[in-house]
Amino acid sequence: MRLAAALAVLAAAGTAQAQSFPGFGGGMGGGLGGFGAMAPGSGPGYVDLDAALAYIDNADLSATHRRQDEIGMAGIDTNYDHRGGLLDVRARGTVDWIHYWHHTLPSAPYGALNADATWGRSTGPAQWFAQETFNESLANPLAAPNLSNLEYVNHFATGPAVNLHLGATDRLSLHALYSNTTYQRSAYGSNSYDGGAVLAHAISRVSSLSLAADEARTVFTNQAVAPTYTTRNASLSYDGHTPRAGLTLTAGYTELDYSGAYRGAPMYQVQFNYQLSAFSSIDLSGRSGYSTSGQAAGASFNAPLSASVLAGLSPATSSAAPFKSDLASLGWYFHRARTSLALSASYDRQRYASAPLGYASMQPSMNFGQITDKNYSATLTRQLRPTLSVSLDGYRSIRRIDTLDASTTESMYGISVAKRFFKASLTFYVRRLQQSAAGAYTGLGAGAFQANTVGIQFTYDLIGQRAPTGP
């Protein structure tokens, strides 16, 4: 049940940036967040229109000031992939307009959506890339993730690549990329200018090696908030695919020039997916490198963005400060006959760079120093009849602010029943969200709270490609 998470006003995942360098037959590469390996068994996807009504007994997610309200919501939910002769398009995520009928919280868009498109063949002389990412973040990572504290972050990137073919198995690609990041309230908006090159060699029809170098310069709209900084990356990548597996390995070095203060660190990316059997598959990923909250939003298309996963991950932190992020995740997926099961776990550590003199007071999130998130989620779906299914889902999210000795633990569990009518479906659900807090959280967050939600949701599949099982 995807949209019930949004009705509880939970938060979107803050994913770490990873420079992606696809292989010889892949996308544009070189810091463009290019096309990674598709998970084995990926279907054509779906594009759903959704509308829902719900009741929540603690709209503020507050320990002491509980206010009840009814919520209305309408939006789009998609996991779509189109690969054509000249145009490849992907879209994944959920974005909804949420309205509180008794105005306990302001109406606002909510969710996470990642969409990108590449025009031109990789075998041709030129390509053009565009990406649009919508996500959520918290200026205070210990605050309650309600719509008063959340703000949306929009990241748009676009640019060309020129491909020089150096024979049947080698290609040199030069790219330029412009990106713009805007925040709903925080003054952390910026423009980035990225350029680089990828030299790729096809080992076989299904595997390749590539050498990449990339430099990106980020300029903030409000120069009083943060200074301009530059990141530089150099890496070597291997990309390989078989009918049952996909593997991408990247290793290199990244350097951050933050107002004349230089920092360097190894960077890596691992993306592995494998079809264990006709009924189950695994997905393993890990990455490390420098990023910002805006760049991180659009950095990896493999990051979970659908609302079924949103319910199990903590929001990103609003900040202009670059940070060193180390992320690892593991997922196991099972589907056989009438039963589906998905299990996932992730670990993300973000270490923020110290601000140059005169800027620290402008960016309170930088004072948090290091943030560590651990997330666990599970979803079980059983098809009772050809058009009737029931789902159980739950998650546990642990966030720790190491420099403040403060932590929060958030848990959610719920049940939903879905009835399908051709391309439409109706879902009834009940969900409980609760949080506990420990350490120096006084004045920084919501502390302990509990919220219960009950609602009904209508979904219409625009293209009729939704899998027949599950809501």
d(Cα 107, Cα 86) in Å, to the nearest integer?
A: 40
In a domain, 471, yes or no: no
In a domain, 468, yes or no: no
Residue 64 belongs to a domain with what CATH number?
Answer: 2.40.170
In a domain, 69, yes or no: yes
The whole domain housing 64 covers 4-461
In a domain, 469, yes or no: no
Total count of residues recorded for the chain: 471
In a domain, 209, yes or no: yes
User: Is residue 282 within 8 Å of residue 276, measured between CB atoms?
Assistant: yes
In a domain, 244, yes or no: yes
Which burial class, exposed, middle or buried, applies to 316 when counting CB atoms under 10 A from its CB (0-12, 13-18, 19+)? buried
In a domain, 470, yes or no: no
| pLDDT per residue as tens, the chain (471 positions) | 443 334 333 322 232 222 232 322 333 333 222 222 233 334 458 899 999 999 999 988 888 888 999 999 999 999 888 888 889 999 988 899 999 999 998 898 888 888 999 999 877 899 999 999 888 887 777 677 788 888 888 999 999 999 998 988 999 999 999 999 998 888 888 899 999 999 999 999 899 999 999 999 989 888 877 788 898 999 999 999 999 999 999 999 988 888 777 788 898 999 999 999 999 999 999 988 877 665 565 554 444 333 332 333 456 777 777 778 889 999 999 999 899 999 999 998 888 776 666 665 445 544 567 888 899 999 999 999 999 999 999 999 898 887 777 888 889 999 999 999 988 999 999 999 998 888 765 555 556 889 999 999 999 998 866 654 433
Provide the residue type at 248 as one letter.
T
pTM: 0.79
The b-or-e profile of 51-69 (16+ CB within 10 A means b, else e) is ebebbbebbbbbbeeeeeb
Domains in the chain, number: 1
In a domain, 467, yes or no: no
What are the backbone angles phi and psi of residue 453, rounded to the nearest 5°? -130, 135
